Structures are given as structure tokens and as C-alpha cells.
Amino acid sequence: MPGPTSPHQTTAAAASLPASAHDGVTAPIAPGDVPHDVGGFSFPGLAHASRALRDAGRPKVLVVMGVSGSGKSTLAGELSFALRWPLVEGDSLHPQANILKMSTGVPLTDADRQPWLEDIGRVVRDWIDSDTCGVITCSSLKRRYRDTISGGNTRVCFVYVKGAQADIAPRLNRRTGHFMPSTMLDSQFAALEEPGEDECVLSVDVRASRDSLTKATLDALDGLTA
């Protein structure tokens, strides 16, 4: 696995992104930046590669998905840092009208989400077309949302941070500085269509420590054929 990237490398990687994505590009998170949970090892059952992903082989783009509060941004940052791939926060591509709606506790409709999903899909497609790897976050709750983002390309892997509502609700209640209120978790689980074996998905367990989750994800990706 490649070693840590430098700030200069991160800037260079970000410079290759489509203009619409620049505002959401962040530097990869160094493991020492935030205190780690006890862990640092993978354990059986923590990560599961779908049949479609095993058939497709190693992906070029990772879309870290899951309901709000599942830890998408944290895992995406760790993967970006370890792989030295540019990172885009999907939430940064939301139009202001969507942000205002969610911040007042009003769930988005499919019509609200469609332009946002198409923007995320453009970022993904630009990476694929330019033979560039990347990591992006997006809740990707429904199958048709994931289809819009991936465009059916099997080199796009959804990393699904999977967990029960009872596991995720306490995490969301502790979170600060995000426009999504914790009261919207019910609507997210109601909308969630879990990925199937026919989708390119790597499912990981939200209950694991950050170190364990990151290592298990990287180990699973390394185990795929190139």
C-alpha cells in the first residue's frame, strides 16, 4: 500500500479534478490528526466484497456511502490518505436550496437529489475518463442513485458503511457542525435500499474502530484482482 502523501501531492491531485468539484476537495486526513480508537487490526466478517465486485476486480473510484452519521467522511479521509487518491466531499456539491431544506429537517425529494447525484456522477466519470483514481462521499441510499453515480461502470466501487439505526443514532447525536439534524435519520433509513450482490460494493461494519475499519477496507481492496 502506498505511503502517506505530502500536502504538495494533495494539491497536485486536486488540481486535476473537474472545476465543479474543487470546492469539495480536502487534503487527506493524516492518521495522527485525530485520536484513534483502540484497534488497528481487521477481523473476520468486518468487510464483505459483493460477487459483482469480486468479478470486476480492483476499482478506480471509491464512493463511500451510508446514512448520515455512519462515518463516511472519516473513512473516506483515511482511504484517501492511505491510497494517495484525491477526496471530494459529496455534500459540498449540494445546491444551497438542498442544504437549507435539510437544515430545517425537511427530507429531500428525488427531484431535489437528482441534480446533485448527476454532479457527483460527473466527478466520478471525469476521474474514470482521465484514468484517475479518487474517493468521494455520498449517502447513495437507493439503487437508482447509485446507478446515476456509477453510470454502470464496474470500476466504481461503493464502500457501504453498514450499521443498524441503534448503532448510528448515538454517533449522529454527538456530531456538531453539520447541516443534517439527527431527527432526519428515520427518513434516511426509510429510504435506504441496501446494495445487493449484483452491485460493486464493499460492505464494512460501522461498529468497528476507525483503525480496524480502515485496515479491513484496504485489505479487502488489496485482495481483489487488478
Residue 152 lies in a domain: yes
Residue 135 lies in a domain: yes
Domain that holds residue 122: 39-222
Q: How confident is the model at residue 212 (pLDDT cuts 50, 70, 90)?
A: very high
User: pTM, whole model, 2 decimals?
Assistant: 0.78
Structural domains of the chain, count: 1
CATH number at residue 55: 3.40.50.300
Q: How confident is the model at residue 69 (pLDDT cuts 50, 70, 90)?
A: confident
Residue 100 lies in a domain: yes
DSSP strands (E only) in 124-200 = 134-137, 156-162
117: nearest Cα among 98, 104, 134: 98
The single-letter DSSP state of residue 123 is H
- What burial class does residue 219 get, using C-beta atoms within 10 Å of its C-beta: 0-12 exposed, 13-18 middle, 19+ buried? middle
Residue recorded with cell 479534478: 17
Residue 2 lies in a domain: no
pLDDT, tens digit, 9 for 90 and up, residues 85-131 = 999 999 999 999 998 998 888 888 999 999 999 999 999 999 999 99
pLDDT, tens digit, 9 for 90 and up, residues 157-190 = 999 999 998 888 877 766 555 445 556 788 889 9
DSSP strands (E only) in 67-224 = 87-88, 134-137, 156-162, 201-205
Residue 190 lies in a domain: yes
Residue 33 lies in a domain: no
